[in-house]
């Protein structure tokens, strides 16, 4: 039994297809199939039911794959430990980040982080929260940056910062006459929101206590905050924007932002990891770089919270 064989059965379980698993492992399908068969013969069990399409693990195979993930993770932990002992900051970080954060957060820290640690390979992919959690649990990601809390078993949440929700109004909107607006006033307005699947959509709907419908004869739900801003600019109505998304607005556009009266609606942005996460040193360095890149007013201390990275 080899670590490589364990990686192969994990890949087959992930893709439920021998060909796709081979591609992900950068080997030919015959090579991967031969190694899986060899492992099955050695263990004297059938790991995958090949009569089904897609391929699925047997009951015994499921238990073996669960243990294989643990063994592979521990083996990688040895390499991480040796790297730390040598004082070498290198390796790969696979990061998943939600679309309402990526365009506004990544550019604040990525360049400086990679200049400090040129031996690090940072792989970033945008995806919705559900996908980030799924891929973390499948060991396809090292960490995620999402909005929390999610209270997901096996997942650690390390808060990074807190950002306010701001109302972004169309030109000549009546509410521009007010310095601040109420949530009640927002509920009575035409509101542009993100499409289903985005956590920011649910946060907005929870705030407004409505289903996302509006009174206009044109309805549009975008997959990006930029799309919503463009509709407000060229049509009418309101959308809500998280604070970082407003940093690069032009002066005229910033004049159309409004805070809320009373308690400010905010969202908590966190790094999430599995409880047995590896690459501890790299993750800590990235965490600290992000903290140093955001405005001080958005940090944990500004909200009376102390976060320790353990």
Position 5 scores a pLDDT of: 95
Position 306 scores a pLDDT of: 43
Position 252 scores a pLDDT of: 92
pTM here?
0.75
Distance of alpha carbon 120 from alpha carbon 107, whole angstroms: 17
**With a cut of 70, which residues of the chain have pLDDT below it?**
84, 187-189, 194-203, 205-223, 276, 278, 300-310
Position 191 scores a pLDDT of: 76
Task: Summarize pLDDT for 220-236 with one digit per residue, the tens.
Answer: 555 678 888 888 888 77
Position 70 scores a pLDDT of: 82
Task: Summarize pLDDT for 78-100 with one digit per residue, the tens.
Answer: 777 777 677 777 888 899 999 88
CA distances from 85 to 34, 120, 277, 279 (A): 37, 16, 18, 13
Position 60 scores a pLDDT of: 94
Q: Which residues contact 298 (CB under 8 A, 6 or more apart)?
A: 161, 162, 163, 243
Position 236 scores a pLDDT of: 78
Distance of alpha carbon 216 from alpha carbon 98, whole angstroms: 29
H/E element, 173: none
Cβ–Cβ < 8 Å for 293, 108: yes
Cβ–Cβ < 8 Å for 281, 163: no
Sketch out the chain's domains with CATH numbers.
3-84 (1.10.10.10), 87-160+267-303 (3.40.190.10), 162-266 (3.40.190.10)
User: What letters, b where the CB count within 10 A reaches 16 and e where it falls short, cover 166-202?
Assistant: bbbbbeebebeeeeebebebbeebbbbbbeeebbbbb
Rg of the chain over CA atoms, in angstroms?
Answer: 23
Q: Which residues contact 277 (CB under 8 A, 6 or more apart)?
A: 142, 143, 156, 283
């Amino acid at each position: 039994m080899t670590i490589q064989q364990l990686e192969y059965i994990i890949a087959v379980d992930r893709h439920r297809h021998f060909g796709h698993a081979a591609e992900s492992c950068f080997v030919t399908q015959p090579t991967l199939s031969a190694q899986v068969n060899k492992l099955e013969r050695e263990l004297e069990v059938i790991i995958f039911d090949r009569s089904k399409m897609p391929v699925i693990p047997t009951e015994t195979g499921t238990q073996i794959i669960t243990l294989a993930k643990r063994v592979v993770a521990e083996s990688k932990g040895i390499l991480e430990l040796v790297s730390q002992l040598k004082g070498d900051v290198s390796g790969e970080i696979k990061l998943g980040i939600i679309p309402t954060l990526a365009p506004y957060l990544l550019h604040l820290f990525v360049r400086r982080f990679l200049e400090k640690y040129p031996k690090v390979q940072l792989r970033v992919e945008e995806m919705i929260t559900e996908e980030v959690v799924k891929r973390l649990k499948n060991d396809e990601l090292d960490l995620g940056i999402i909005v929390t809390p999610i209270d997901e078993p096996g997942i650690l949440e390390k808060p990074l910062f807190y950002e306010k929700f701001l109302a972004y109004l169309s030109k000549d909107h009546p509410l521009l006459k007010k310095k601040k607006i109420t949530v009640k006033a927002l509920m009575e307005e035409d509101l542009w929101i993100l499409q289903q699947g985005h956590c920011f959509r649910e946060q907005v709907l929870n705030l407004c206590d409505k289903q996302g419908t509006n009174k206009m004869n044109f309805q549009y739900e975008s997959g990006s905050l930029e799309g919503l801003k463009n509709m407000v600019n060229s049509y009418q109505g309101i959308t809500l924007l998280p604070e970082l998304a407003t940093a690069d607005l032009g002066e005229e556009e910033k004049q159309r932002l409004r805070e809320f009266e009373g308690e400010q609606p905010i969202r908590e942005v966190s790094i999430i990891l599995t409880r047995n996460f590896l690459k501890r040193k790299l993750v800590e360095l990235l965490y600290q770089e992000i903290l140093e890149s955001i405005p001080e007013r958005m940090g944990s201390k500004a909200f009376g919270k102390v976060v320790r990275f353990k």
